[in-house]
A = this chain, B = another copy of it.
Amino acid sequence: MNYSKENLWQIEEVGFDSRYLGKTESIMALGNGYLGSRSATEERYTNERRDTFIAGTFNKFDENEVSELPNIPDVWWMDFIINGENFSLEKGKVANYSKRLNLKTGELIREFEWATGEIKLQFTFRRFVSKARRHYLSSYVEIKNLTSQSMAIQIRSGVDGQVTNSGSQHFNEGQKGLVDGEFMQMMPQTMESQIDFVFTVTHKLQVENLKERIEMGRRQIFMNYFFDLPANESAEIEKRMSIYTSIDNDLSIHEVEAMRQVAISEMKEVAELSFEQLLEESANEWAKIWAKHPILIESESFEDQLAIHFAKYHLHIMTPAHDERMNIGAKGLSGEGYKGHTFWDTEIFMLPYFNFTHPEIAKSLVTYRYLGLDGAHKKAEENGYEGAQYPWEAANPADGEVTPVWGAADIVTGQSTKIWSGFIEQHITSDVAFGVKQYIDVTGDQEFAEGKAYEILFDTAKFWGSRLEYNIEKDRYEINDVIGPDEYKEHVNNNAYTNYTAHWNVRYALNLAKELKETNPELFEKLNQKLALDRVLEELAEKVEKILLPQPTEEGIIPQDDSYLGKKILDLAKYKKMDGVDGLFHDYNLEQVNDMQITKQADVLLLLYLFEELFAHELKLKNFDYYEPKTTHDSSLSLSTHAILAADLGKLEESYEFFKRARAIDMGAYMKSSDDGIHAASLGGIWQMTVFGYGGVRMINGQLRIEPHLPRAWSHLTYGFDYQGESITVTVTKDRVELSKEDNGRAITFLSNGQQYSLQNTLHLS
């Protein structure tokens, strides 16, 4: 990838190498939260991954698979046949190749010269997914004949429904046809969830003596265009597309025929607008996002600033802000990885960005968890518990658990490995509670708190109450047979992260109950009726003091779980140097890794970061130094946590090394990293490292904290955030910190280095 300090809004690939197709498809993905699309090229390559998704349109291929976001029929595809020869960049000579994404406007541009035999052409491709019209997509191609001879051009372009999710086909073929002689339509339906889709495609060509012919193949409808391109002349082709579905919440009627009419009306409506105008309309919507709390970094490394633009761009294209029945997938809408499912990644890694900068989007994300209570009850019941046990992986909110049961091959046995996360990675429930609590603390959204958040907080505590196991011998409550954040350790007892967060969840519910009984007894009684709180809280009160909270050893190390510290230690240097994330598993299987002090990602350290108030500085330092060398960072959720914790601990230079590695997860040179999609949590992590890590912002126990500290490479940082309805801007240089907000008569209070401040307009911290 090529990045330039001349353009901090641009992700660019210079020179074509088909091995990077997967990477550029992901990191240059387009979208608007409603739909997301990998930036696969118009022409096809064998190692491409041609995916487009519409948020929330989950479908289950068969009984043995789990619901996933279906890869919808492809609208970007265009074949170019020049003098009878199929155009492909694997053939002939390619010069001045550039594929680049404008993060500011959401426009993807690809241009190059291509020569083979007598053919020499200049191609320019431009496309965008409209941020102004969620259903609308546009593509533009200019072909210039660079020779002194006319060339015969054939273009095939339409909708191709032969694509699948790695072989699983979620759609029936559906009707297709040409309307009014110009609008191709295809109307497939998902097989199990029965969601209707309407694809509409039309073309505008600026060429002389055009011949055209409609064609239909199996699951395909497309136009064939034939024309001669005279010497030194150019042809322009515009492709306009839209996609509607029967679950769209901006449609009042979801009948297929009605949707077809809506789509055609829209196409007719935009017919008078040029590609440029439609792009501008979309870019104007992007401008509103960029205007909100821009982050300015002055760094020795310009990629730091670029990374912030990159992260925010992706956080917005992946997030279905328009519909609270949907949440963010672990790969956003940029790949088949994790099937579009939502994990704890949302609450711990992406939600903070939205809490602090787009509270209305954050509200939609936490509302999804409220809608997910039914699914969480279902899961709890299936597992013999009560209350709300959130699914490790979530699709439609009411579905409950959708984690697949079987994963990759075990290199020793040659058999598929069972994925236990759906059964025993239980910290997700306290993560959701934590996320909801952060949301109400940061936004001060009392309506959501009373209407939804408290219920979630009680219901999750109720789950933990039923989940705790009494150890009669030791007279304590344990949480055994779990997976903590470190997924290399399956079936462990008393994972510190799990136990501490469960304890927090229970303790918080008890405090909340006490408070509500005094301040809002009516609400408490309502929730009591619904959740049997009187009984539940009594039980919780009995148990809470006896929940095992793993205590530090003599050396000050909090054991990750009951058995971790007794396991043998492997030198990980070899694996830490490897590209990719599963190098370790080329030598060991999961069972073997389970028996060593190897940690996939921040586990104890995540606890120390999220619940900093519970642990002393010295203890954090010791644990950081103990666990980090044993951590492979094989999860993209690991590095940003380490960067922030290191910054908190004053290890700023070490922190910045983690920062650089963390922002390289998707943007870096390793060509395979993003094939399955971008790493949503890592992108949230980039924002967190900046605003939480160096900006020093944190929401702790309902109290805002601001303690900026820049790494040596940074000379300046400006960031902003929303806090309880106020908009705050912070400027940090080596020697001063300036905070400002509109002087509207209201003040906000915050802590900084143990001191309480009140910000009404402008304030300097020394």
Is A213 within 8 A of B90, CB to CB? no
Measured between beta carbons, the chain B residues less than 8 angstroms from A44 are 46
B162 lies within 8 A of A214 (CB) = no
Q: Which of B65, B169, B414 contacts A179 (CB 8 A)?
A: B414
Selected from B45, B213, B221, B586, the residue in CB contact (under 8 A) with A213 is B586
Q: Looking at the complex, which one of B64, B178, B586 makes contact with A172 (CB distance below 8 Å)?
A: B64
- How far in angstroms is the closest Cβ of chain B from A670? 13
> Please, could you name 11 A-B residue pairs with CB atoms under 8 Å apart, sorted by A?
A46-B46, A61-B172, A62-B191, A88-B90, A168-B169, A169-B169, A177-B409, A178-B413, A179-B414, A213-B586, A216-B416
Closest to A336 in B: B218
Known: A91-B91, A179-B414. 14 other contacts (CB 8 A): A18-B86, A61-B172, A65-B172, A65-B173, A88-B90, A164-B164, A164-B167, A164-B169, A168-B173, A177-B409, A178-B415, A181-B414, A213-B586, A216-B408
Verify if A746 is at the interface (C-beta below 8 Å from B): no
Chain B residues, Cβ within 8 Å of A46: 44-46, 88
Determine if A215 is an interface residue (Cβ-Cβ < 8 Å): yes
Question: Does A166 sit within 8 A of B, measured CB to CB?
Answer: yes
A411 to B211 CA separation, bound complex (whole angstroms)? 13
Q: How far is the CA of A193 from the CA of B415 in the complex (A)?
A: 27
B64 adjacent to A173 (CB under 8 Å): yes
Note all chain B residues with C-beta closer than 8 A to A415: 177-178
Docked pose: A86 CA to B46 CA in angstroms: 11
Contact call A178/B91, Cβ cutoff below 8 A: no
**A46, A88, A165, A221: most-surrounded residue (chain B CB, <10 A):** A46
Residues of B close to A184: CB separation below 8 A? 414
A residues apposed to B, CB below 8 Å = 18-19, 44-47, 61-62, 64-65, 84-86, 88, 90-91, 161-169, 172-173, 175-179, 181, 184, 191, 213-219, 221, 408-409, 411, 413-416, 586
Give the chain B neighbours of A91 by CB distance below 8 A. 90-91
Chain B neighbourhood of A176, CB < 8 A: 416
Chain B residues positioned under 8 Å from A218 (CB to CB): 165-168
Which one of B19, B86, B165, B219 lies within 8 Å of A19 (CB-CB)? B86
**Is there an interface contact between A409 and B166, defined as CB atoms closer than 8 Å?**
no
> Hey, which chain B residues are within 8 Å of A18, CB to CB?
86
Is A409 a contact partner of B173 (Cβ separation < 8 A)? no
Residues of B within 8 A of A409 (CB): 177-178, 214-216, 221
Cα A705 to Cα B166 with chains together (Å): 57
Supposing A46-B44, A161-B167, A167-B164 touch, asked if A411 and B86 sit within 8 A by C-beta, the answer is: no
Given contacts A62-B191, A218-B167, A219-B166, contact A177 B90 (CB under 8 A): no
A711 to chain B, nearest CB (A): 35
Q: List B contacts of A88 (CB < 8 A).
A: 46, 90
A215 to B173, CA, bound (A): 32
* Cα separation A64 to B409 with both chains bound (whole Å): 36
Q: Which of A167, A173, A179 has the most CB of B within 10 A?
A: A167
Contact B169 A162 (CB under 8 A): no
Contacting residues, chain B, for A61 (C-beta < 8 A): 169, 172
A-B interface, 5 closest residue pairs, ranked by CB to CB distance from nearest: A178-B414, A162-B167, A216-B409, A90-B90, A169-B169
Query: Could you tell me the distance in whole angstroms from the C-beta of A201 to the nearest C-beta in chain B?
Result: 12
- Nearest opposing residue in chain B for A43, CB measure: B46
CB < 8 Å neighbour of A167 from B19, B181, B219, B416: B219
Nearest-neighbour CB distance to chain B for A648, whole angstroms, equals 40
Measured between C-beta atoms, what is the minimum distance from A567 to chain B in Å?
25
Minimum CB distance partner of A183 in chain B: B414
Q: How far is the CA of A383 from the CA of B168 in the complex (A)?
A: 36
- Which residues of chain B have C-beta atoms less than 8 A from A65's C-beta? 172-173
A172 contacts B62, C-beta separation under 8 Å: yes
**In chain B, what residue has the closest Cβ to A160?**
B167
Q: How far is the CA of A481 from the CA of B191 in the complex (A)?
A: 36
- For A214, the chain B residues whose CB sits under 8 A away are 409, 411, 414
Give the nearest-CB partner of A180 in chain B. B414
- Residues from chain B with Cβ under 8 Å of A191 in the complex: 62
* Chain B residues, Cβ within 8 Å of A181: 414
**Which residues from chain B contact A167 at a C-beta distance below 8 Å?**
161-164, 169, 173, 218-219
Within the assembled complex, what's the spacing in Å between the Cα atoms of A90 and B19? 14
* Chain B residues in 8 Å Cβ range of A408: 215-216
Residues of B close to A178: CB separation below 8 A: 409, 413-415
Report whether B173 and A414 are in contact in the complex, using a CB–CB cutoff of 8 Å. no
Could you say which residues of chain B place their CB within 8 Å of the CB of A215? Answer: 408-409
* Chain B residues in 8 Å Cβ range of A45: 46
A651 nearest CB across to chain B (Å): 36
- A86 in contact with B47 (CB, 8 Å): yes
For residue A179, which residues in chain B have a CB less than 8 angstroms away from its CB?
414
Q: Which residues of B contact A172 (CB under 8 A)?
A: 61-62, 64-65
Q: Across the interface, do A411 and B169 meet the contact criterion of CB distance under 8 Å?
A: no
| Complex-state Cα separation, A408 to B218, whole angstroms | 9
A84, A85, A168: most-surrounded residue (chain B CB, <10 A): A168
**A610 CB to nearest B CB, Å:** 34
Minimum CB–CB distance from A167 to chain B (whole Å) comes to 3
A216 / chain B contacts, CB cutoff of 8 Å: 408-409, 416
A95 CB to nearest chain B CB (Å): 16
Question: Which residues on the B side are within 8 Å of A411 (C-beta)?
Answer: 213-214
Q: Are A162 and B173 in contact (CB under 8 A)?
A: no
- CB-CB under 8 A from A85, the residues of chain B are 19
CA distance A162 to B49 in the complex (A): 13
Contacts of A586 in B (CB 8 A): 213
Report the minimum CB–CB distance from A158 to chain B (whole Å): 11
CA distance A165 to B164 in the complex (A): 11
Measured in the bound complex, the distance between the Cα atoms of B47 and A91 in whole Å is: 14
Please name the residue on chain B nearest to A219 by beta carbon: B167
Q: Which residues of B contact A165 (CB under 8 A)?
A: 218
Contacts of A217 in B (CB 8 A): 166
Residue of B nearest to A165 (CB): B218
Task: Provide the bound-state CA to CA distance between A19 and B166, in Å.
Answer: 25
Note all chain B residues with C-beta closer than 8 A to A213. Answer: 411, 586
**Residue numbers in B under 8 Å from A90 (CB-CB):** 88, 90-91
Q: For the complex, give the distance between the alpha carbons of A165 and B62 in Å.
A: 18
- A735 to B: closest C-beta gap in Å: 48
A290 to chain B, nearest CB (A): 37
